[in-house]
Homo-oligomer: A and B are copies of this chain.
């Protein structure tokens, strides 16, 4: 499969503009030969007009057919073969094993949505049958289900070229729900995006989806993304990236004549709070586990643990030694882009320079190649942490700050300064959970996922995973970008009142032809209505 470098406007290739850019290879600090054509505003218009038209048709395609489309995407992605992984490796610097795992996850995500569609109960169908003889007024027949909303704009992330990108956590559920998708390809991995877009287009054509169900546009600047978000035909935005980028899109979307939702996942420091007895009994092992979590994937995960709270207690020195030694032993890793790498060292050094912050360890072994991130950890007292809001912010990369509190009272005060988080971890023995209820409550209130005795890295793709958290972790804590419920971002409920059975969607017909779970007159049931 060959990289085209042109915009995918439905089933057509388009390259009206003169501006192009190339793939950057972070490990070599060099560029690959292909030119990617930045879309023009006219191309944005064409794309959105086509998407709007496709919506009317695609929204009515039965769920089972949309499932076939998703499965076809997985087949076409796998059919690209190792070329896709190799390109991703060049463009992102991520190791092949990680990329293999990420591709498998992406396939798994799409497959889970196909299964969700085939099972069908996700539409949350609800039926209240008529009571024509009720007084003083008859009760009408009312039925409700989730329906698609219209074209969805997807911004691929830099750190997951497959799982949070062109065919990732936003595209999968948006397509599953019945919405056309328009991807703004991330400029850090345009080649991977190009190959993936081709796979989706092939799958769409092969399964008879309408032209415009999927489009992808290039831009290494902000113009195309801005035009997409502001376009009246756009109905929602999915984004994973920085706070700055996410909030810029959020503001843009709120200022539209018709405001639309931006489901932005924007970052998190994922605090880990370690209670005294746990630390004492797990000092060495926890040091190892933590070092692994901090340095994993060059720390380029939204669930990277950036803050660790401990108290001056029995196990502290043993733990700190173990943690330090493990970090020293780690090897540097290639970061995603030159900008991300530069920013990592800038923010890390800025943290190192803050009052009362001491460097605890910086990984000593350097890998070959450019844009290498060294895992780095530092310590600070609880009081200095509380006094300095700069230390509460995320440093994207393998950096973590160990906040050493005088006691659990100071620890409670310190964590009271934290904003919303994707995850909070509590490391505690069971009796400590009971004894420190105020700490537990605080962590519960600010976390989307509350972990006991585990590190936050590793996001299981399953129905019970909530990957989202109170602001600013995500723009809307109600929604997850991982797992089946992520489809709820791209639907709305609609009631049908007084419609005869033959004109209702299958999901709401008396006979329940799809055999789904429904709420019928306030009772959950898979039965038909007699």
Contact = CB atoms under 8 A, between A and B. Distances in A.
A458 B451 CA distance: 47
Given A140-B460, A453-B498, A517 B522 contact: no
Given A128-B464, A149-B477, A519-B463, A450 B494 contact: yes
Interface in A165-188: none
Contact of A142 (B121, B258, B464, B495): B464
Contact of A460 (B142, B468, B470): B142
A127 interface: yes
Given A494-B466, A524-B517, A502 B450 contact: no
Of A127, A250, A492, most B-chain CB atoms within 10 Å: A492
A113 interface: no
A245 to B, nearest CB: 16
Nearest to A453: B498
Interface in A443-460: 444-445, 447-454, 458, 460
A472 B419 CA distance: 31
A460 B499 contact: no
A27 to B, nearest CB: 24
A465 interface: yes
A72 to B, nearest CB: 23
A419 B257 CA distance: 11
A489 to B, nearest CB: 9
A109 B207 CA distance: 46
A471 interface: yes
A449 B128 contact: no
Contacts of A472: 258
A261 interface: yes
Contacts of A468: 493
Interface in A420-461: 420, 430, 433, 441, 444-445, 447-454, 458, 460
A16 interface: no
B454 A478 contact: no
A143 interface: yes
A30 interface: no
A83 interface: no
Contacts of A451: 497-498
A500 interface: yes
A157 interface: no
If over half of A's interface residues share one DSSP class (helix, strand or loop), that class is named, otherwise mixed; here it is: mixed
A1 interface: no
A126 interface: yes
Contact of A447 (B140, B475, B494, B524): B494
Given A143-B464, A144-B465, A441-B56, A495 B449 contact: yes
A465 B56 contact: no
A303 to B, nearest CB: 11
Nearest to A419: B258
B499 A463 contact: no
Nearest to A508: B464
A65 B213 CA distance: 49
A463 B495 contact: no
Interface string A314-347: 0000000000000000000000000000000000
Interface string A89-130: 000000000000100000000000000000001000011100
A502 B478 CA distance: 26
Interface string A126-144: 1110000000110110111
B465 A492 contact: no
Given A441-B56, A448-B495, A494-B466, A258 B471 contact: yes
A450 B495 contact: yes
A144 B476 contact: no
A331 to B, nearest CB: 20
Contact of A144 (B419, B464, B492): B464
Contacts of A258: 419-420, 471-472
A462 interface: yes
Nearest to A139: B460
A492 B478 contact: yes
A480 interface: yes
A367 interface: no
Which of A140, A420, A453, A485 counts the most B-chain CB atoms under 10 A from its CB? A140
A150 interface: yes
A503 B142 contact: no
Contacts of A143: 464
Given A150-B445, A451-B498, A470-B492, 12 more contacts: A128-B464, A139-B460, A140-B454, A143-B464, A258-B471, A261-B478, A433-B503, A449-B497, A450-B496, A452-B500, A463-B519, A517-B524
Lowest 9 CB-CB distances: which A-B pairs, in order?
A: A449-B495, A466-B495, A144-B464, A142-B464, A128-B462, A451-B497, A128-B464, A126-B464, A477-B492
